[in-house]
Structure 1
């Protein structure tokens, strides 16, 4: 049985407590028997994998590979994952490039099965790299089982750090954010955007994201999120808005329940 993170409260208080105890809780989680077994097996055997078929044929290896990119729910979608890995990302028509979720692109690039020569699985240290990612994301999953909003906050902090390091244009970074569902949700919540927003034309979405980030959060360029304080303020804004939305839902439910309870017990009788 894996160590279960201690998250006694949610929202901003939970975020503060989680960060204060993060190092110790992460250490205990990584020592969980199941985590140790899975990561040890991956590090010992991934070096023998030379093709996408090799990877998807070994469920234990595939579990860690997918979990390392937040795609654990696709464990039974072997045909999809095989195609994503075999196509690579260099061609516009590659499956990973046609899927809306940027995590498939990250997975395909990480393993490099479509590239000339040996895949990245043959590189020294590759097993450790993926195993470390797996441990990190599995801890996020475990936190999410206690409080999904805190999981989203952790995911946002990690994903933003990775995206901001990439040498691409500002718009490309925004499109990456928009293509990672958990991170996109954090931005939509922090900016107060409705769920119907995703139905807009993609270029219009980009304009709205940039404009609202500047007006509401003071984020004129994503590079400002390289500052830890600015990034933390952004995450706190998400958690605050998420809490407010949750309170509103709870209040609406409470009102509805009160109305039902106060309705005449003989309603509908003659």
Structure 2
């Protein structure tokens, strides 16, 4: 939680040293999070199939929250594909998406994916339950109002997740990581989001060098830069992103959503694009 009269950068530096403990303490104090964690612990181990998870709303919300997929909680067909398709297969939704978040989720339930959604034993082992609880608490902590108001939550998320990103498409598939990078690159996230996918790629590939975001120190310094820039140009916290937002908002035949056979058209804001270059 943010600390009164202390700069966001200072608060972030304090929190990032042991976010797990800070998130655990937040979860104990926040009644909703505490209740959700308790229910998850009581019910998760009894779930042995993808259908069972999809039918248990409370457990599903904790799982999705832990993997940063709360924005697709209403996309049942997508979640089912991620749970029932082998993530190592080139034809699976997770693999085709090149979405690091989707891949991590599918990999966690790979035993279901390789057996079309069921298994003789539940994947919810004690270790997995503890891991999901920890990730969920961190997610709730990062998304708390106090941490979203000044960007600390996004900075903490960026620090946790960025080490697993190895390509620009992976980065762009995660709206929170993308927002941090947009800000540090000098772009307004709202205006940048109005561009189509190809335009976004063209602009970011000259701004983002992933080889310089490969160590914890580099990632943390980048997160601190993001927070410092927000003090100069504050941003209004976003509402949860839609599934289309995960892919840059482009439904054209050149956008990444074309992988899933989605057709559509969008206007090309050339004036805005030229102005940002």
Mapping 1:1-270, distance limit 5 Å: 5-8=1-4, 13-20=7-14, 25-32=22-29, 33-99=31-97, 101-112=99-110, 113-116=112-115, 118=120, 121-143=123-145, 146-147=148-149, 149-161=151-163, 163=164, 172-193=166-187, 195=192, 199-201=196-198, 205=201, 209-214=204-209, 221-222=211-212, 225-228=214-217, 230-246=218-234
Q: 1:241 to 1:120 in 2, by over 3 A?
A: farther
TM-score relative to the length of structure 2: 0.67
CA deviation after TM superposition for structure 1 residue 80, in Å:
3.1
CA deviation after TM superposition for structure 1 residue 126, in Å:
1.1
CA deviation after TM superposition for structure 1 residue 243, in Å:
3.2
CA deviation after TM superposition for structure 1 residue 42, in Å:
1.9
Matches of 2:52 and 2:167 in 1, distance apart? 33
CA deviation after TM superposition for structure 1 residue 155, in Å:
0.9
Q: 1:27 to 1:55 in 2, by over 3 A?
A: closer
Matches of 1:158 and 1:128 in 2, distance apart? 17
Instruction: Encode CA deviations 1:177-217: one digit per residue, 9 max, x unaligned.
Output: 22211101111211124606852538x82x75454235xxx
Q: Secondary structure of 2:68's partner?
A: coil
TM-score relative to the length of structure 1: 0.69
Q: 1:9 to 1:83 in 2, by over 3 A?
A: farther
Retained in 2: the 8 A contact 1:140–1:155? yes
Q: Secondary structure of 1:109's partner?
A: helix
Whichever structure has more helix as a proportion of its residues is 1
Matches of 1:197 and 1:93 in 2, distance apart? 30
Matches of 2:120 and 2:198 in 1, distance apart? 40
Instruction: Encode CA deviations 1:98-153: one digit per residue, 9 max, x unaligned.
Output: 55754222222212221245577154411111111111111111156651522211
Matches of 1:148 and 1:70 in 2, distance apart? 20
Matches of 1:123 and 1:65 in 2, distance apart? 14
Retained in 2: the 8 A contact 1:101–1:181? no
Q: Which runs of 4+ in 1 moved over 6 A?
A: none
Matches of 1:18 and 1:196 in 2, distance apart? 26
Q: 1:91 to 1:144 in 2, by over 3 A?
A: farther
Retained in 2: the 8 A contact 1:111–1:120? no
Larger radius of gyration: 1
Q: 1:198 to 1:151 in 2, by over 3 A?
A: farther
CA RMSD for the aligned pairs? Answer: 3.2
Retained in 2: the 8 A contact 1:7–1:143? no
Unpaired runs of 5+ in structure 1?
165-171, 248-270
Unpaired runs of 5+ in structure 2?
236-277
Retained in 2: the 8 A contact 1:69–1:106? yes
- Corresponding residue for 1:265? none
